[in-house]
Amino acid sequence: MGISPLRVGVIGVGHLGSRHAEIYAGMPGVRLSGVCDANPTRAREVAKRLSCPALRDFRQLLGQVDAISLAVPTTLHGAIGRVLLHRGVHVLIEKPIATTLGQADALIREAARQHVVLQIGHVERFNAALHAARKYLTHPRFIEVHRLSPYPFRGTDVSVILDVMIHDLDMLLLLVRSQVTRVDALGIAVLSKSEDIANARVRFASGCVANLTASRISDESIRRIRVFQEDSYLSIDYKAQAVELAHKTRAGIRRVNLPVNQRPPLQDELAAFIHAIRAKQRPVVTGRDGRAALALALRIEQTMRRR
């Protein structure tokens, strides 16, 4: 007998959630069992296109699915996520994990109690450019990050720190693996009620310093991290999935473009989620990883707002 299809649903089918639904619909061994959205018209549109049920209330998915992608506004992650986990559903929560550490802790505890997978959607972990650069990232001394995007007209229920910069905070913690000793930050609201542009400087016990700039009101889209080390420099372009490496040789500085096996990061992220469920393994990005990124994001917000 073959393996039964894993039944998956998507809650929140806006720009990103609809991509989750599309990928699941085309994934071998997976059945898209339903989509749900606060906008019933939107839910019906996506459901019709992907030939699955459209539901008005996320609770209607309970008992009908094994796993869910949760792509609702950040302020709803904690409440909806706990209900799903409590009912034994494996959950992928789009970043950030929640808006408070208390909510994050509750999600982590519930997932452990129910023995289900809780994965957080820090999609840059699955970027092929990062994979190509990873073995060269040994002892970062200075990190410069720019993440700029046009105004989204969505996701503005939280600041640009939680909405945009959180991707890079997760990457910092992954690459540096040292305690944060100091945070300085500035930010300003332009089109939203919360900050749309922010700059943060993060110092680590290892001596590494990271300077991050995030904007959601840019006229261009940039997703780039530059890492300076004692004997090398790497420029990682997440958007183009390209990596430049410069390193010292006896003849001087040598620059090379590293080979990158370009792949769609979101597709790999969802495939990893399904694999973790089937193999009963820890996900690539755990709830604790999501909590750590959230803790640093909130610290940056607090520092920024004290000024």
The token duo for 4 is 């039964």
Q: For the chain, where do the domains classified as CATH 3.30.360.10 start and end?
A: 125-263+296-305
Distances, alpha carbon 125 to alpha carbons 3, 42, 109, 145, 286, in Å: 28, 29, 23, 15, 12
55-95 per-position pLDDT tens digit: 999 999 999 999 999 999 999 999 999 999 999 999 999 99
Burial of 253 per CB tally in 10 Å (0-12, 13-18, 19+): exposed
HSE toward the beta carbon, residue 170, CA cutoff 13 A: 26
6-122+266-284: CATH homologous superfamily?
NAD(P)-binding Rossmann-like Domain (3.40.50.720)
Q: What are phi and psi of 153, to 5 degrees?
A: 55, 25
Mean pLDDT across 234-256: 92
Higher-pLDDT residue of 154, 258? 258
Residue 154: pLDDT over 80: no
pLDDT confidence of residue 81: 98
CATH architecture of the domain covering 125-263+296-305: 2-Layer Sandwich (3.30)
What is the reported pLDDT for 2? 64
Whole-angstrom CA distances from 279 to 30, 192, 274 are 14, 42, 9
* CA pair distance 241, 123, nearest whole angstrom: 13
Is it the case that residue 155 has pLDDT exceeding 60?
Answer: no
pLDDT (tens digit, 9 = 90+) per residue, 200-232?
999 999 999 999 999 999 989 999 999 999 989
Band (pLDDT 50/70/90 cuts) for residue 251 is: confident
> Would the pLDDT of 1 be above 60?
no
Token digits of residue 214 = 């995030």
pTM for this predicted structure: 0.95
